[in-house]
Structure 1
């Protein structure tokens, strides 16, 4: 699994900053604030995403995507659990793969493979199959919120 320590922290922070988020590096031996799953999984508090060197990149991108899909006025109230609905969760799974494409040395294929290794489950058997063949409603959800469009979808496919 690709970890935060394996990629350029500053590039990840710059990506999140484009969406009004701040990435905080947590000391390796410290608990991660706002982590829903605990252990090494990324955490959320307001517009802040917390991660350690051993945080999986897919976790960091997933939690950041939860904040990205929220209107800025709702972000301030987020602490640990940002999910609003199944539809949001599905859209966040697509968005985290797209965010992976924006980071050198990561890419959507790695994000999707790491999602499978972590234990995500999808009807078609893998995150990649979901992304490529079963995520139409997630694409529509993102598009309705101005987070992607059909042209961008084709460019990234």
Structure 2
């Protein structure tokens, strides 16, 4: 069974599903099942960080390169927000992790913004300038945020 796990992962998963349905507990590959279940949880957290980082990177680009704004950036911002809503609806237990994820994702989003704008790191705030609520708000774009803060 363990060699199947290493040589044909898909076949191993199908075998494990069959064994679970048959309630053949003694035949399950428990060690690898536990590892895979733990990985599933980590992947959901990673997905959350990835979506937030792309969103934050595009919000930074929107704010700091207004002359480059276009439908592509706007569509990416909207898509990431929609994907985040879906992810959180499907995994509500990720909500307490959002604040920590925002901080981590900002660093990744900052790298994206620097790479795609060619602006130096010093151009951007060192810490996320957007609240979690604003980041996830469909109506929020940094230019309107700046105007309302002024």
Q: TM-score, normalised on structure 2?
A: 0.28
Q: Whose strand proportion is higher, 1 or 2?
A: 1
Q: Whose helix proportion is higher, 1 or 2?
A: 2
Larger RCO (alpha carbons 8 Å, 6+ apart): 2
Q: TM-score, normalised on structure 1?
A: 0.27
**Larger Rg, first or second structure (1 or 2):** 2
